[in-house]
């Protein structure tokens, strides 16, 4: 690992002399020096952090970047003294110097676990927020109670005073009515508000350091922009340093002053954000940058996966010829779905219409709760639609999917297959890979026993896996490999259309590129048609030729990729595009303008012509070239593009 040593810039290397260190400590809140961490499993020590050094200067943001399993979360746990019971610090120091207190810092690595000294730091001088805002708050205590507790632990105050401070903090993190929110429970709040409550809890004692472990990964893109903006604002006001742990290079480019890239427990590269993005040295970092999709990619440009998979096409799956002038493979009209009791109906999907041309990939973008997954499920008939039609036409005549009877539906199923989001829970842990891939053929009574096995072997090769792994169980595969098994299963019946529901959201950037490339290769070589659901605009940009945008159950805009990304007409699409953090220093988020004050999908924040003034007044307006936008039926294309 010689080149690793070279890649570390001198300013982050631990100083050799004591005199120097006290000097440095005055400006660095946190210094980790040559940290070695191990986990004891079955009496054996496995080293997960192998000599990491980094620093966090006072008032600055340092991003710790790496894929899952790189050890970045373990480092944050070590700083908080919250390592799992079997975690051991084998060597190295974690120096924390409180800027509020002069003098030498403390070495957290030597403090007794859960002792008084480390507890004073936790919450008091070092705050922490986590990825999942729902599970990191107790569901049975009010947020006021949980936030105030942190305050009372470190700065005892009379009850009334404490409540006042807590409410003030809630106001600071953007709660509109802090007095009322104090008594609310986490389940009454949206994900974004919960993460704000977490921020309030972490910051209420004015810590010198905030550790944010993937703080926005679970949030929608517009909410993410809001939370990132809030973190910057609070940093400017309170002057705390931030150790930002993330795998998202877009977030890094927008937030960090310095960056440390870790891979398998070692620092690959470290330096200022400028150095890291403009002059990446280490091959791993360069590869990571090339593997993340962004909006600059030309049509036809490929992502460079860290480990590329070349599909070997099975002979048994014939390529479909795509001829011009064929009717659309899938034609969806006025789809509608609502949930709930009679007096309390929630409309999940309303009046959604679109076509998917043969051999095309239609991307469907939307935030959580927009109804995009419900649409996917209705196409598959796993949920019933209240109204509307879904017509499938592979050239042999139209099939009304929603009207199929049980036996007909069963016979139709092979035409349409699905790839799921979660590669862990979508594969049965009790079946071998062979059984998993064969199952669709067994259900459909296709092929003989030996032919099924041969097909399974071909499919394994097709997704870049060794056919010898067929007898293994899913747990022995990584997330990306499992997702490829899921793809093989979807291909088993040789479908025309594959519905991909967030197929890469659970994967690391490096693996994501690999799976996306595989899907692209399969599409072009087999002539497949995709319906690609995702919340990630960059991924949809890479995959789809046509893109549809959903908000609050309605399709607000649909058009060719070019039009959507360069000439978005709907205010929601524009907000969405503006809120995406790109891994590009020259196009950082403009926090002042990118975040609407209300919710991005709230029609009240849209201009008049896009608001539903009266029921039934909204319609898709054609802007030319297949680009349509949902607006008041009285508007013309010119009105909308001028805005």
Answer yes or no whether residue 324 interacts with other proteins by CB under 8 A: no
Between 242 and 276, name the residue whose CB sits nearer to other proteins.
242
Collapsing DSSP to helix, strand or coil, 172 comes out as helix
- 462 scored as a contact of other proteins (CB under 8 A): no
Closest to 248 in 3D by CA, of 539, 498, 497, 451: 539
Q: Could you give the C-alpha distances from 180 to 14, 175, 183, in angstroms and in order?
A: 48, 9, 6
> x/- string (CB under 8 A) for other proteins, residues 234-273?
----------------------------------------
Residue 592 is a binding residue for other proteins (CB under 8 A): no
Interaction of residue 123 with other proteins, rule CB under 8 A: yes
Are β-strands 61-65 and 241-246 bridged in parallel, bridged antiparallel, or unpaired?
Answer: parallel
Cα 265–chain centre separation = 23
- Return the number of the residue (238 or 387) whose C-beta is nearest other proteins: 238
Q: Rule CB under 8 A: which of 334-393 touch other proteins?
A: 341, 344
Q: Is residue 122 involved in binding other proteins (CB under 8 A)?
A: yes
219 binds other proteins (CB under 8 A): no
Q: Does 635 bind other proteins (CB under 8 A)?
A: no
Query: Does residue 124 belong to the site contacting other proteins (CB under 8 A)?
Result: yes
Q: Which of 181, 170, 562, 546 is nearest to 328 (CA)?
A: 546
Q: 416: which strand partners?
A: 497
Whichever of 85 and 279 has its CB closer to other proteins, that residue is: 85
- CA dist list (Å): 341 to 237, 344, 347, 375: 47, 5, 11, 20
201 binds other proteins (CB under 8 A): yes
Q: Report the residue number, 185 or 591, with the smaller CB distance to other proteins.
A: 185
Return the residue matching tokens 């926090």. 591
Question: Closest CB to other proteins among 136 and 353?
Answer: 136
Q: Which stretch binds other proteins (CB under 8 A): 44-52, 131-139, 420-428, 501-509?
A: 131-139
Q: Are 370 and 550 in contact (CB under 8 A)?
A: yes
CA dist 290 and 83 (Å) reads: 33
Q: What is the DSSP secondary structure assignment for residue 355, as one 8-state letter?
A: E
What is the β-pairing status of strands 361-365 and 529-534?
Answer: parallel
In the bound complex, what is the minimum distance in angstroms from residue 586's beta carbon to other proteins? Answer: 36
Q: How many residues form the binding site for other proteins (CB under 8 A)?
A: 34
- Say how far apart CA 346 and CA 553 lie, in whole Å: 10
Among the listed residues 137, 499, 509, 556, the single contact to other proteins using CB under 8 A: 137
Rule CB under 8 A: is residue 449 a binding residue for other proteins? no
| Contact pick of 39, 185, 469, 473 for other proteins (by CB under 8 A) | 185
Is 100 one of the binding residues for other proteins (CB under 8 A)? Answer: no
Look at residues 271, 231, 236, 301 and name the one whose alpha carbon lies nearest to residue 9.
271
Considering the complex, state which of residue 122 and residue 535 has its C-beta at the smaller distance from other proteins.
122
Nearest residue (CB) to other proteins, 161 versus 188: 188
Query: According to the binding rule CB under 8 A, does residue 8 interact with other proteins?
Result: no
We find the least distance from the C-beta atom of residue 91 to other proteins, in angstroms, to be 25
Cβ 245 to other proteins shortest distance, Å: 14
Q: Which residue intervals of 492-594 are DSSP H helices?
A: 509-526, 537-543, 561-566, 571-578, 591-594
> Using the rule CB under 8 A, is 149 a contact of other proteins?
yes
- CA 296/CA 315 separation, integer angstroms: 36
Residue 636 in contact with other proteins, rule: CB under 8 A: no
**Is residue 114 close enough to count as binding other proteins by CB under 8 A?**
yes
User: Which tokens go with 400?
Assistant: 């009304």
Q: Exposure string (b/e) for 535-554, b if CB count within 10 Å is 16 or more?
A: bbbbbbbbbbebbbbbbbbb
The first and second tokens of residue 303, run together, are: 């992502």
User: Which CB sits closer to other proteins, 140 or 407?
Assistant: 140
Closer to other proteins by CB, 188 or 602: give it: 188
Q: Determine if 121 is a binding residue for other proteins (CB under 8 A).
A: yes
165 touches other proteins (CB under 8 A): no
Per CB under 8 A, the list member of 4, 58, 82, 313 interacting with other proteins is 82
| Torsional sign, CA 66, 69, 71, 73 | positive
> DSSP class of residue 122?
B
In the structure encoding, which two tokens stand for residue 372, read together? Answer: 């995009």
The one segment of 103-111, 122-130, 262-270, 570-578 that binds other proteins by CB under 8 A = 122-130
Question: Nearest distance from residue 81's CB to other proteins, in Å?
Answer: 9
Which has the closest alpha carbon to 418: 477, 497, 360?
497
Which residue shows structure tokens 């001198």? 10
Which of 154, 383, 413, 520 contacts other proteins by CB under 8 A? Answer: 154
Q: How far is the CB of 172 from other proteins (least distance, A)?
A: 18
DSSP characters for 454-465?
A: HHHHHHHHHTT-
Give the residue, chosen from 138, 408, 425, 428, that forms a contact with other proteins under the rule CB under 8 A. Answer: 138
198 is a contact residue toward other proteins (CB under 8 A): yes
CB of 151 to other proteins, least distance (A): 9
Structure tokens at 34: 């040559």
- When asked if residue 80 is in the footprint of other proteins (CB under 8 A), the reply is yes
111 near other proteins, rule: CB under 8 A: no
Tell the smallest beta-carbon distance from residue 159 to other proteins (Å).
17
Determine the Cα angle at 185 with ends 180 and 188, to 5°. Answer: 85
Tell me: does residue 150 bind other proteins (CB under 8 A): yes
| 3-class DSSP assignment, residue 307 | coil
Q: Residue 139 interacts with other proteins (CB under 8 A)?
A: yes
Question: What letter does residue 604 receive in the DSSP assignment?
Answer: G
Q: Residues 494, 414: contact at Cβ < 8 Å? A: yes
Interacting residues with other proteins (CB under 8 A): 80, 82, 114, 119-124, 127-128, 130, 132, 135-142, 146, 149-150, 153-154, 185, 187-188, 198, 201-202, 341, 344
């Amino acid at each position: 690992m010689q080149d690793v040593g070279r890649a570390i810039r001198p300013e982050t290397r631990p100083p050799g002399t004591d005199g120097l260190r006290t000097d440095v400590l005055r400006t660095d809140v946190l210094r980790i020096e040559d940290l070695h961490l191990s986990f004891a499993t079955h009496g054996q020590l496995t080293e997960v952090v192998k000599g990491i050094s980094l620093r966090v200067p006072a008032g600055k943001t340092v991003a710790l970047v790496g894929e899952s399993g790189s050890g970045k979360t373990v480092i944050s746990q070590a700083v908080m003294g919250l390592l799992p019971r079997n975690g051991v610090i084998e060597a190295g120091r974690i120096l924390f110097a409180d800027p509020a207190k002069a003098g030498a810092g403390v070495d957290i690595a030597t403090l007794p676990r859960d002792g008084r000294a480390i507890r004073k730091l936790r919450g008091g001088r070092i705050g922490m927020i986590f990825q999942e805002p729902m599970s990191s708050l107790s569901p049975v205590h009010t947020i006021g109670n949980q936030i105030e507790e942190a305050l009372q632990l470190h700065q005892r105050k009379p009850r009334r005073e404490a409540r006042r401070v807590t409410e003030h903090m809630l106001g600071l993190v953007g709660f509109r009515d802090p007095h009322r929110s104090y008594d609310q429970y986490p389940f009454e709040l949206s994900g974004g508000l919960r993460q704000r409550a977490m921020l309030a809890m972490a910051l209420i004692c004015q810590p010198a350091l905030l550790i944010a472990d993937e703080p926005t990964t679970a949030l929608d893109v517009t909410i993410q922009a809001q939370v990132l903006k809030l973190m910057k604002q609070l940093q400017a006001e309170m002057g705390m340093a931030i150790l930002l742990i993330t795998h998202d290079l877009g977030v890094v480019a927008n937030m960090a002053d310095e960056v440390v890239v870790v891979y398998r427990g070692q620092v690959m590269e470290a330096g200022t954000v400028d150095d890291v993005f403009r002059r990446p040295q280490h091959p791993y970092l360069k590869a990571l940058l090339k593997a993340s999709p962004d909006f600059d990619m030309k049509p036809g440009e490929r992502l460079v996966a860290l480990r590329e998979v070349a599909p070997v096409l099975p002979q048994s799956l014939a390529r479909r010829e795509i001829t011009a002038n064929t009717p659309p493979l899938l034609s969806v009209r006025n789809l509608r779905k609502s949930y709930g009791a009679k007096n309390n109906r929630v409309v999940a999907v309303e009046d959604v219409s679109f076509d998917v041309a043969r051999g095309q990939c239609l991307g469907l973008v939307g935030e959580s709760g927009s109804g995009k997954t419900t649409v996917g499920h209705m196409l598959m008939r796993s949920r019933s639609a209240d109204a509307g039609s879904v017509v499938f036409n592979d050239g042999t005549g139209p099939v009304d999917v929603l009207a199929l009877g049980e036996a007909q539906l069963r016979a139709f199923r092979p035409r349409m297959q699905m790839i799921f989001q979660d590669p862990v829970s979508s594969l049965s842990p009790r079946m071998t890979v062979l059984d998993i891939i064969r199952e669709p053929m067994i259900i459909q009574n296709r092929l003989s026993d030996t032919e099924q096995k041969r097909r399974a072997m071909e499919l394994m090769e097709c997704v870049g896996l060794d056919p010898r792994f067929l007898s293994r169980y899913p747990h022995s595969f990584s997330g990306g490999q499992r997702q490829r098994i899921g793809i093989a299963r979807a291909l088993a019946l040789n479908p025309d259309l594959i519905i991909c529901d967030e197929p890469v959201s659970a994967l690391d950037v490096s693996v994501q590129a690999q799976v996306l490339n595989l899907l692209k290769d399969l599409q072009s070589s087999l002539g497949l048609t995709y319906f690609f659901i995702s919340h990630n605009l960059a991924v949809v940009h890479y995959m789809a030729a046509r893109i549809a945008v959903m908000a609050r159950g309605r399709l607000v805009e649909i058009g060719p990729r070019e039009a959507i990304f360069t000439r978005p007409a709907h205010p929601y699409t524009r907000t969405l595009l503006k809120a995406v953090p790109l891994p590009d220093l020259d196009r950082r988020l403009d926090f002042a303008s990118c975040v609407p004050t209300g919710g991005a999908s709230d029609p009240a924040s849209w201009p008049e012509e896009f608001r539903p003034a009266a029921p039934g007044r909204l319609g898709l307006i054609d802007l030319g070239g297949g680009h349509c936008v949902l607006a008041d039926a009285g508007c013309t294309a010119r009105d909308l593009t001028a805005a």
